[in-house]
Structure 1
């Protein structure tokens, strides 16, 4: 009994390690999916690879969870809600995302010019990417000459645009706000589904309204985590162990959702209809592990470090791997058919190691050369602004 009642390490309600774990899992899953497409070497269970693109849904969920968590914590603790200053919020989001993104965009533009030269289509493509509206135009979304994975930034940008209005409303009236977000996704889904099989559907199933319910799950997860994470029960070992066990059960549920997604005959149709069960399972993983036993410090530091690299990794991995394989033809190959299509397993193993190593190394370099310096500049700017207001 003494062991079961011993006080565990406190829950970090400001930045749970579970959020870093899910971020690493999501970005790694997307990366494994894209690298597997080029090397054909499986490093994960096949159904995780085939359904790897749905890791994007988890990143959307995490964005809502992490951004709304300070509001959820203030609401749970009965404290004043954070001040809603749209201009300040937009500035911080821009400083966080745009420098690394524009550096990546410059590289992808150089590749596009090298491969095909300048064209009017490329100019329009570039304009859409510069303004984060690429998903709104077919030629910049599914026909882009630039970095194809950056369509997700359109979803994030639209979420950031409404967040300063959405956050205080959800903190004060969570049920109506979350319900309306889910209704928007449900109505949009029912409107888009009949168009499956047409060219229009490819443009529709990942648009912002199709993620509104995902955002609702992320914000609801923040509210639940904040409310439960401050109870006296968190100081007892047995219930915290129980939450960790529930987190493992949620992982099994998540695995089942990925297996169903990977085995769907109509993949993109199933992805739209299965989006909510998938993110509910991911949200359960996030909340249960967040309320469970706190990982040892080395594990937390490793997760935090890998999570910090996730944005650069997401931006660079696919474009870099395609460049290495087709432009540099590495590992070395000749002819028109890549060796993986000819069943060359030795080449596939070598390619997989090379692509992962290159993606990770470039991610580390971009984090320290682009993301971290601008994060420091943002912190200095924020400190000067607060000091000016204090005077």
Structure 2
């Protein structure tokens, strides 16, 4: 698969699908719309319905895929140098941080500003100190340091992932420098640190998991390490295989399909057998990300028909607006419901999780469908507008700051 403007098309596709699945998970939490499809073909086998409900219900695992892709893409310039020492040198830390700031900060701080102006007041908190802590933690990307700012926040709960990303950015230049010289050793150390942290702090004696600590930065070190090592293997395979032969393409396609099937089986296993979703998530985080890495490596050498699924204009567009999709989709979900768009009746006495729990009511399915359609349309339109009107223009301005100027002639 050819690269366009330095971007690898299939990675954009994987990012786009991962984003859509994460959004589908949050949508399912608010609508409970079951993805059931009648299938006469499966009835002889005793299957009356073919269900894809497991896709949104396990969508939280694809947050890990987004973080894995971050580690992969950030380390890619270093990986190219490992495969070919004559490749361009990676960016210096100063330029790296500048580009990361240009990418992350404008859209993120715009979201915080909108919430502080329109939807968050000190009176919404039990005390002024809780309000200030929530604001401070989001301004400094330290949401996951405190349970109140992670679970009890009044800002979009999805923003905690950006805190993890920024924490990774801060240490990435140092990690990348060591990882480039000692890839396997560094990968092993990062994975060991992640597993040690999970064992000591994330798991609970009763077979569950600590809701906050499973999503703190150290718990993701193994995911980032898998992404960085996959980048090295990605570049080495490209250098060794090149365009490849028909046999290579066939084997890669089969491996890609096998890895996809392993992803599906892993998610279904966690959905059906895990006594605690959080415990299963943290126990299988490393292995799930490793399977995704195998899928990525095989996909790069698979047949064009399979690659096209992850490298077409539609998924490229979704990938382009994915950052604002992630920031704003939860707000769209909650505000539509709070503003009763589409309308729904008042909750009966004793009802919980209204209106998604109104199963059996004549209006319920129609509301679910309308709510779902509105969510997707508004989220995509809003993300596109913010990407082109805020994110990209602001990033260009930031990147131009402190640019070298030509010396002026003295009179």
User: Of 302, 322, 333, which aligns to 2:334?
Assistant: 322
SS at match of 2:17: helix
Matched, 1:21 2:6: no
Task: Flag the 1:298–1:283 CA change in 2: closer, same or farther, 3 A.
Answer: closer
Task: Flag the 1:41–1:313 CA change in 2: closer, same or farther, 3 A.
Answer: same
**Is contact 1:17–1:303 with CA below 8 Å preserved after alignment?**
no
Once residues 302 and 149 of structure 1 are traced to their aligned partners in structure 2, the CA distance between those partners, rounded to angstroms, is 24
Deviations 1:130-179 (A, max 9, x none): 11111101111111011111111121111101111111211111011111
Deviations 1:358-382 (A, max 9, x none): 1111111111111111233345458
Q: Which runs of 5+ in 1 are unaligned?
A: 1-8
TM-score (normalizing by structure 2) = 0.85
Task: Flag the 1:95–1:235 CA change in 2: closer, same or farther, 3 A.
Answer: same
Matched, 1:169 2:161: no
**Is contact 1:11–1:290 with CA below 8 Å preserved after alignment?**
no
Deviations 1:216-235 (A, max 9, x none): 10001100000001225524
Please name the residue that 1:269 is paired with.
279
Matched, 1:100 2:107: yes
- What aligned pairs does 1:248-263 form with structure 2 within 5 A after superposition? 248-263=257-272
TM-score (normalizing by structure 1) = 0.89
Please name the residue that 2:288 is paired with.
278
CA RMSD of aligned residues (A): 2.7
Instruction: Give 1:124 deviation, angstroms.
Output: 1.9
Please name the residue that 2:38 is paired with.
none
Matched, 1:74 2:81: yes
Instruction: Give 1:61 deviation, angstroms.
Output: 0.3
User: Of 86, 95, 110, which aligns to 2:93?
Assistant: 86
Please name the residue that 1:151 is paired with.
160
Bigger Rg, structure 1 or 2: 2
Please name the residue that 1:312 is paired with.
324
Q: Which runs of 5+ in 2 are unaligned?
A: 36-50
Once residues 309 and 371 of structure 2 are traced to their aligned partners in structure 1, the CA distance between those partners, rounded to angstroms, is 34
Task: Flag the 1:13–1:115 CA change in 2: closer, same or farther, 3 A.
Answer: same
Instruction: Give 1:247 deviation, angstroms.
Output: 1.3
Once residues 12 and 254 of structure 1 are traced to their aligned partners in structure 2, the CA distance between those partners, rounded to angstroms, is 28
User: Of 105, 125, 138, which aligns to 1:129?
Assistant: 138
SS at match of 2:96: helix
**Is contact 1:101–1:315 with CA below 8 Å preserved after alignment?**
yes
- What aligned pairs does 1:361-372 form with structure 2 within 5 A after superposition? 361-372=381-392
Which region of structure 1 is more displaced relative to structure 2, 293-302 or 269-278?
A: 293-302
Instruction: Give 1:27 deviation, angstroms.
Output: 0.8
Once residues 300 and 174 of structure 1 are traced to their aligned partners in structure 2, the CA distance between those partners, rounded to angstroms, is 33
User: Of 355, 358, 372, which aligns to 1:339?
Assistant: 355
Once residues 11 and 325 of structure 2 are traced to their aligned partners in structure 1, the CA distance between those partners, rounded to angstroms, is 17
Once residues 142 and 25 of structure 1 are traced to their aligned partners in structure 2, the CA distance between those partners, rounded to angstroms, is 26
SS at match of 1:135: helix
User: Of 313, 326, 342, which aligns to 1:301?
Assistant: 313
SS at match of 2:275: coil
Deviations 1:280-327 (A, max 9, x none): 11111211112324545994333222111111111110122101101x
Task: Flag the 1:198–1:252 CA change in 2: closer, same or farther, 3 A.
Answer: closer
User: Of 395, 405, 409, which aligns to 1:375?
Assistant: 395
Instruction: Give 1:80 deviation, angstroms.
Output: 6.0
Which region of structure 1 is more displaced relative to structure 2, 366-375 or 141-150?
A: 366-375
Deviations 1:1-27 (A, max 9, x none): xxxxxxxx6577953222112111211
Please name the residue that 2:256 is paired with.
247
**Is contact 1:19–1:290 with CA below 8 Å preserved after alignment?**
no
Once residues 302 and 398 of structure 2 are traced to their aligned partners in structure 1, the CA distance between those partners, rounded to angstroms, is 33
User: Of 206, 228, 238, which aligns to 1:229?
Assistant: 238
User: Of 300, 305, 310, which aligns to 1:290?
Assistant: 300
Task: Flag the 1:30–1:297 CA change in 2: closer, same or farther, 3 A.
Answer: closer
Please name the residue that 2:44 is paired with.
none
Task: Flag the 1:197–1:374 CA change in 2: closer, same or farther, 3 A.
Answer: farther
Task: Flag the 1:297–1:145 CA change in 2: closer, same or farther, 3 A.
Answer: closer
